[in-house]
Structure 1
């Protein structure tokens, strides 16, 4: 049985017809990466932000072997909280997990927000690199990795408080959880065919200076989806929801209004 995920459950006092929003964090972070969104959108709808298994306050074991495990955990959380359907929003690995969720329980997904992410399966070289990084994190811990990638996760010019928050999340992550997720991520499927058949609206977001998932990849993802809008966030790299929350929130608010209107 899937472990019960640590989570925040905000709002619910706004419009009862507003579709709940579920926020899926990336690697190697936790639910606090969504604070700028939870604080704003809880005024109008229910907002749920879980810690994925192996991250934050959620349990590490039993370790996951594929993205299906993350999706099963999220579906179990929705069941536990009585959420029949929702908008799923994910950044980076969280976006890929949102894609996996859509493949497994599409009837519960009313919209997809895919930020700084890619639907493409990992390359052979990428699989090797992710497995090697998993071994390194177990051997060395998170600090060296966090120091190395901080200014790729957020732009070098990012606000110092944002940098400090991102670095804290990375160094607080347990190596066992991060390593398990890296191995699962190495084996992820290709989601392009699934997304080309999507029947729900989608919002694709990308930081203009993202080097992990560049703008060209976001444009390709946008073109793939039958009903999607694209938002390129200037002055941001891989985590625009933290680096430029006002711009990210404006795009998200517009998208959520469109989903709500479809009811």
Structure 2
């Protein structure tokens, strides 16, 4: 049975630990182009479009984080990936936590959490996410994309980076984005889970991130038994695109450490 999700699978025959990259909202797998370019020559790199995003099917309604995690488990099974490092940014980081909750250390050898938060949604946040879902279904993505672009990336980000981020947002199907927003509005508290993670973790955050500020990353890092924190100067919510060299340096060091573990 073919995978449900659209995906890129680069260099599938190397012996190093595979890397699964989970994009954020409202983006797609092209978000990870710098990391695929950097790491695919030497290891297997899998980058899917999540349900409702990019070239993957849209299922209107509500898509909880657990549904995204189940989709990714099915993809790993279809590709015969027994273990991997899971890296997620923003919503993708929350899905990475859901993946660890579902699959555990038997399949996930390392966890990369970038510009994300393990805390449950607040009542105000639930109302705001559901209201935004209604707005996107009513108006489409462009107005939202125009409003948040310079919060997603720092105002001084390069023109090509801004264009790429804006293009991903406006190309997203409003029904898929709305379903994810409604699902995230009901997200659980992953903080207790993080205290029980038994694999190495890397926490990355842009120094100027307004959505998930540095102090949130510091608090998340403190919960993890074996975690490293990397703060990327000059970046906001998407340091992997804004400062790919710094992001890739931190990720590369982490992957080497995971590869060397027994």
Shorter-chain TM-score range: over 0.9
Q: Does 1:5 pair with 2:5?
A: yes
Equivalence for 2:197: 198
Task: Determine the C-alpha separation between the residues in 2 that align with 1:146 and 1:2.
Answer: 33
Structure 2 equivalent of residue 66 of structure 1: 64
| Structure 1 residues 229-260: Cα deviation after superposition (integer angstroms, max 9, x where no partner) | 00000010000000000000000000000000
Q: 1:2 to 1:149 in 2, by over 3 A?
A: farther
Q: Distance in 2 between matches of 1:87 and 1:142?
A: 32
**1:19 equivalenced with 2:17 (yes/no):** yes
Give 5+ residue unaligned stretches, structure 2. none
Corresponding residue for residue 238 of structure 1:
237
Secondary structure at the counterpart of residue 167 of structure 1: helix
Q: In 2, distance between residues paired with 1:211 and 1:247? A: 19
**Matches of residues 161-200 of structure 1 in structure 2 within 5 Å?**
161-200=160-199
Aligned equivalent of 1:54? 52
**How many residue pairs end up in the alignment?**
261
Distance 1:130 1:66 in 2: 13
1 CA distance for matches of 2:13 and 2:130?
A: 44
What is aligned with 1:259?
A: 258
Query: Is the 2:12–2:44 Cα contact (8 Å) retained in structure 1?
Result: yes
Aligned residues of 1:25 and 1:94 also touching (Cα < 8 A): yes
**Judging changes above 3 Å, is the alpha-carbon distance between structure 1 residues 110 and 78 closer, same or farther for their aligned structure 2 residues?**
same
SS of the residue aligned with 1:83?
A: coil
Q: Answer yes or no: is the 8 Å Cα contact 1:95–1:115 preserved in 2.
A: yes
Residue of structure 1 equivalent to 2:100 = 102
- Checking the alignment, whether the CA contact within 8 Å between 1:85 and 1:110 is kept in structure 2 is yes
In the superposition, the TM-score normalised over structure 1's length comes to: 0.97
CA apart distance, 1:64: 4.3
Does the CA-based 8 Å contact 2:109-2:199 persist in structure 1? yes
Please give the alpha-carbon distance, in whole angstroms, between the structure 1 residues aligned to 2:63 and 2:44. Answer: 31
How far, CA to CA, are the matches of 1:46 and 1:214 in structure 2? 31
Q: After the TM superposition, which parts of structure 1 deviate over 4 Å for at least 4 consecutive aligned residues?
A: none
Q: Secondary structure at the match of 2:211?
A: coil
Q: Does the CA contact (< 8 Å) of 2:3 and 2:75 recur in 1? A: no
The match for 1:120 is 119
Of 43, 51, 55 in structure 1, the residue corresponding to residue 41 of structure 2 is: 43
Equivalent residue, structure 2, for 1:33: 31
2:130 is aligned with 1:131: yes
Offset at residue 2 of structure 1 (A) = 10
| Cα distance in 2, alignment partners of residues 145 and 164 from structure 1 | 15
Whether contact under 8 Å (1:67, 1:184) holds in the other structure is yes
